[in-house]
């Protein structure tokens, strides 16, 4: 195979994977926004972990872990509430069957600004699908205008 064709083929696979990764993240949020835990489940791997990192008023750092089951239950309990997490951008990095998606966001609850931060999605390629194997986010109320 000529080298130019090999480079083009690898580039196209990378672009295709980027589209699939972004689609998995977008589907996750479609499930969140519509309070559909079953849709969210289609995007996550059985190994999925959830962490939030926040700075407390005294300046110390808080790392909070939530189980996927607890998260999905909360999503279901919020039926009828407007959960709107606006992703501001995507920065996707891929190494073979592992990827991350860095997504700054602003979160609104029932139309009111709640907080902002960054999500880091860790993804794993299972066959032809990308699955979310972990989400770590930051949460804050200050410095949100600086995100993009």
Residue spans per domain, the chain: 3-142
Q: How does 13-30 read in b/e, with b if 16+ C-beta sit within 10 Å?
A: eeeebbebbbebbebbbe
Query: Cβ(106)–Cβ(147) under 8 Å?
Result: yes
What are the angstrom distances between the C-alpha of 43 and each of 8, 29, 50, 90? Answer: 29, 10, 14, 17
The verdict on domain 3-142 having CATH code 1.25.40.340 is no
Q: Chunked in runs of 10, what are the mean pLDDT values of the chain (148 residues)?
A: 48 75 97 95 97 94 96 92 94 96 96 96 96 97 83
Which tokens hold the place of 20?
């699939």
Note the pLDDT of residue 129.
Answer: 95
The most distant pair of C-alpha atoms in the chain lies apart, rounded to whole Å, by 61
């Amino acid at each position: 195979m000529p080298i130019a064709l090999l480079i083009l083929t690898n580039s196209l696979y990378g672009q295709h994977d980027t589209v699939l990764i972004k689609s998995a993240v977008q589907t996750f949020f479609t499930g969140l926004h519509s309070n559909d835990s079953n849709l969210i489940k289609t995007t996550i791997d059985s190994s999925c972990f959830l962490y939030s990192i926040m700075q407390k008023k005294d300046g110390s750092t808080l790392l909070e872990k939530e189980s996927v089951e607890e998260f999905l239950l909360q999503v279901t309990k919020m039926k009828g509430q407007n959960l709107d997490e606006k992703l501001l951008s995507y920065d996707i990095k891929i190494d073979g069957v592992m990827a991350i998606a860095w997504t700054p966001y602003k979160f609104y609850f029932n139309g009111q600004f709640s907080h902002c931060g960054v999500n880091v999605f860790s993804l794993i390629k299972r066959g032809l699908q990308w699955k979310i194997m972990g989400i770590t986010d930051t949460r804050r109320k200050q410095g949100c205008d600086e995100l993009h």
